[in-house]
Structure 1
């Protein structure tokens, strides 16, 4: 049995996609591959493979131990993708960004959640052959589409008008996520119900915190900020929504979009190169907030298009299903084990 240790503090900060992706993978390995892989978490005994999910300094230090076996690094962000997320003094930012790349270079193998990162990482000096693309996924056991009757009951329980067109978004409240555009759209459409789930996962160092905090405390009457909520409530909101809207300016492969796909919810996104690389054709694409506004007004009177978008979501959900990703991760870890074994024999 192949021994794998996961080093992660991804679930120490609530409301971020890295934590969701980590939990999904651990669950997949536990439910489908526990006969193949012996998985431990944050342990220091000798293993065949060590998979680093977060870049904590303590993990960087322990990566120098021979007990770690072959080291695999999960890349959920690059320095440039942190712009608009956290605000740091320039010197701290420079040091932190350099550390991020140094951590990735310490790894024997890199896994990216979006193929567009491959070229970017090579520009930082990481060999292309050390980089593997494996997409995110969500499980239907947690994120699934409920019946019309169940959706009606949910609206009643959450005190949301049965006839109201609901637009839902989720993610950390930060500039990069386009939250201010979401607020602007709520102001432009007082006849619709807008809901944003998420909060300030990084507190006052969140980029644009002061401005965003004022909006969260005093939103338009038709906009609800739920704060950070558990996943079972997130499923409820997705099922109550007529449209999932994420107006982010920069993303990787957001778990929130996969969760919307998995519940069969129509999806609208800003037109980003990163999206086109992985989910092109499965969502309503808009250039900016003005186009989002125009499309929203069209969609509320176009049930045929909404049904088409629901169909796209279901198709995307099948593509990034737990079943497909189980095969991919099994093959990946077995390949890494064979490389590690070969390297050990060479050293021996």
Structure 2
């Protein structure tokens, strides 16, 4: 049995995809491999593998304890460029943070990325290509699944939304990087369509554009609902009543929200980013800009057969990124990196 210590504060702030990915991995390892892996959380005793999910300074200090930490695995959920439009820091502080982030990754014996498109950026930053492995995110079907029509009608009634109203749903922190400006514009330009955005200000007042977004959040258009930051157990209801899940984000790795939508059989529309082509090509509608999104939403709202076709694609994607499939990948990864480094521990 391998002793694996997870170092993470990812679940300390609600509404972050990093936290969702972390919790999914922990639950999967405990359910699938109770006799193969002994998983500990933020434990400073000796481990065979130390898996770092977040970059807290206290965790950075542990990387100097080489014999106690075993194989150091870093989980890359973001790079300096992907934080632009998320938080607004004083320029010198931002530069220091960027250097610290990359320094943390370089201290790792192995690195896991959730999207292969970020491998070149890590190599350019000085990371060894031979240490980098791509493993996709996944979402448990026990949390996100297709509900019955009766359940969906009841939830629409609870929210006060007409049974025939077309619904566009988005998830994420309310920040510029997530494309919230376009989501708001789409709602204003389509008053007959219901828009819902689940999320809030996880970074508080240092959120980029906080003052502007807070005003809209408190006084949204009549057809735009902000239910706030929701537990994942609540999100499943929103995915199920949505006709389209829309993520207009300008920068992502491998959003958990897209996988959640796939599991619920919800049609997926995204801003057409190159990074999606590496992981979910063929399973979504890609839009160039807000005008393109507007055209597609108007089209889909009058063509239910297209929604059905996209729903089938989502279910197909859900099968590919299932928990069982990805569990096997993680088992092979942990056992192989331990074998690779064990003689140097």
Shift of 1:276: 1.2
Task: Provide the rounded CA distance (Å) in 2 between the counterparts of 1:62 and 1:343.
Answer: 17
What is aligned with 1:33? Answer: 33
SS of structure 1 residue aligned to 2:61: helix
What is aligned with 2:146? Answer: 145
Root-mean-square deviation (Å): 0.7
Task: Provide the rounded CA distance (Å) in 2 between the counterparts of 1:158 and 1:239.
Answer: 13
Task: Provide the rounded CA distance (Å) in 2 between the counterparts of 1:338 and 1:241.
Answer: 46
**Larger displacement relative to structure 2 (146-155 or 48-57):** 146-155
Shift of 1:158: 2.5
Task: Provide the rounded CA distance (Å) in 2 between the counterparts of 1:129 and 1:52.
Answer: 18
Gaps of 5+ in 2: none
Task: Provide the rounded CA distance (Å) in 1 between the counterparts of 2:278 and 2:271.
Answer: 14
SS of structure 2 residue aligned to 1:201: coil
Moved over 4 A (4+): none
1:1-42 Cα distance to aligned partner (Å, 9 max, x none): 111000000011110000000000000001111110001000
Shift of 1:337: 1.4
TM-score relative to the length of structure 2: 0.99
What is aligned with 2:218? Answer: 217
Task: Provide the rounded CA distance (Å) in 2 between the counterparts of 1:276 and 1:206.
Answer: 29
1:79-128 Cα distance to aligned partner (Å, 9 max, x none): 01100000001100000000000000000000000001111100001010
What is aligned with 2:328? Answer: 327
TM-score relative to the length of structure 1: 0.98
Shift of 1:159: 2.2
Task: Provide the rounded CA distance (Å) in 2 between the counterparts of 1:35 and 1:126.
Answer: 33
SS of structure 2 residue aligned to 1:278: coil
Is 2:127 the partner of 1:130? Answer: no
Contact 1:48 1:340 in 2 (8 A): no
Task: Provide the rounded CA distance (Å) in 1 between the counterparts of 2:324 and 2:160.
Answer: 36
1:186-226 Cα distance to aligned partner (Å, 9 max, x none): 00000011000000000011111111111111111100011
What is aligned with 1:54? Answer: 54
What does residue range 189-268 of structure 1 map to in structure 2 within 5 Å?
189-268=190-269
Gaps of 5+ in 1: none
